Amino acid sequence: MRVLLFLKNECRQSFKILCSLAFILALALAIATAIGQTERMIKSSSAKAAEQFDILVGAKGSRTSLLLSTVYLRDEMVSLTPASALTLLNGYKGVKWSAPLAFGDRVDDSPLVGTTRSFITLGESRQLKQGRVFATRHEAVAGVHSGLEIGQTVFPHHGRIAGVGHKHDSGFKVVGLLPETGTPWDRAVLVPIEAIWAMHEKDGGLQEPKLESWLTQGQFEKLPGFSAIAVKPVSISDAYKIRQLLSSASAQDARGQSVNLMAIFTGEVLVELYATLDSAMVAFEWFAASSVMISLLAVLITGFILGELRKPQFLQLRTMGAPRSYVMQVVWLLIMSVVASGVIIGMVGGYGLAQIAAIVIGQDTGIAMTPSVGLDEVKVGMVTLGLGAVFALFPAIKIGRSQLR
């Protein structure tokens, strides 16, 4: 007798029930695999976004806030770093380049960042996509996804929330576009830090027409300071020396007060954040695994129920000479068709959910994210398929051993 022919007929009779079971299993498996893909995607993308920031220097406080506000341009409360902190870096040969950063304003939905030309070019190691670096206080370099074009003039407003805060009178003409980095900086608008000071009337009396001339004058105590300082060390050993030097140092601000400093490795802080993320993901993973197991149990129970409902037909086949193995094959293949369909649809659905998560998170953070199906997801699918094969044996054996009456 043809097993597949009987199986096809059974699938036609129980189509709605079998499809419902396959959908439930697929949904549970999709959630389980999407969680793993999303976690891996967040870690890899956030780590890539921090690659251009080896060391961050700021006023002593929250290491996480310094990282989030600088690398990911999040709205975090950070204390001002005295401008005189640059004197500690300028005199150290292990610094390849350093650049101050000042946050607090926006151009529509784009964060406005005050900095120097060394940050624009990353110490002459990065070329602009279009245009040139700013040369006056009223010029700007925009991120490739800021929505701005070369030649366009923009007027920033105070505050880091779009649409909130008064507009500044100072306008900036976009003269260059940064290359795409896949980070929140693709949305940023970068201007001379002197312009940020001038907009807030805290430029310390700077009137020099030449940008960054204050760097060589040595009167940093008169300047208002920065949100953070990005530092690129020459070597790994220099990086540790810089961190040790600045973590135990202090600098005098414009009010004459001493401010303790800190220097952080972005990678170390990310590892701490990942540890917190891992703790949260464990709960999600247990929930997802439980959902898959419950779905498999539902398939198992339904297999028993269908077996009982179709028992007269199976017994009739037995009386016609069909061996027990034939009946067992039919029941086992019937259940496995549901499990296999659920696994295939669930794997595809999990990737789809991860893609949706990538779009949502990317729009919120500005970080380019691309999910991928890894070995872990394949293992989950194979384990689910294996457990389904084992579970399917129970109703198959029970129906196959039924006594003829």
Instruction: Output the tens digit of pLDDT for each of the chain's 405 residues.
Output: 566 666 677 677 777 888 888 898 899 899 989 998 999 999 999 999 998 899 999 999 999 999 999 999 998 888 899 988 888 888 788 899 999 999 988 888 899 999 999 999 998 889 999 999 999 889 999 999 999 999 999 988 876 555 555 565 678 999 999 999 999 999 999 999 988 888 876 544 555 556 766 776 666 777 888 999 999 999 999 999 999 988 888 888 778 788 899 999 999 999 999 988 888 888 888 888 888 888 888 888 877 777 777 767 777 766 776 677 777 888 888 888 888 999 999 999 999 999 999 999 999 888 999 998 888 889 989 998 998 889 888 888 887 776 655
Q: Smallest Cα–Cα separation from 142: which of 106, 95, 104, 170? A: 106
Please tell me the predicted confidence (pLDDT) of residue 283: 82
- Cα–Cα distance, 85 to 238 (Å, whole number): 17
pLDDT of residue 218: 65
**How is residue 376 written in tokens?**
């872990």
Rounded Cα–Cα distance for residues 108 and 163 (Å): 7
Contacts of 199 (CB under 8 A, 6+ apart): 105, 156, 168, 170
Distance CA 355, CA 148 (A): 27
Phi, psi angle pair for 203, to nearest 5°? -90, 5
In sequence order, the 6+-apart residues with CB closer than 8 A to the CB of 227 are 58, 69, 70, 78, 80, 81, 101, 102, 103, 104
Phi, psi of 255 (to 5 degrees): -95, 5
- Written as six digits, the tokens of 261 are 């400093």
User: Strand pairing partners for 95?
Assistant: 233
User: How far apart (Å, rounded) are the C-alpha atoms in residues 17 and 26?
Assistant: 14
* CA-CA-CA-CA torsion sign (344, 291, 376, 71): positive
Q: What are the C-alpha distances in Å from 112 to residues 177, 179, 192, 265, 398?
A: 14, 17, 10, 24, 70
> Identity (one letter) of the amino acid at 100?
P
CB of 169 closer than 8 Å to CB of 175: no
User: Is the full-model pTM beyond 0.75?
Assistant: yes
Round to whole Å and give the CA distance between 248 and 263: 9
Segment (H or E) for 110: strand 110-115
Tokens read off for 117: 């030309």
pLDDT value, residue 128: 94
Looking only at the bridges linking them, the beta strands covering 228-233 and 95-107 are antiparallel
> E strand or H helix at 162, and its extent?
none
d(CA 373, CA 348): 9
Q: Which two tokens stand for residue 29?
A: 């498996």
DSSP 404: P
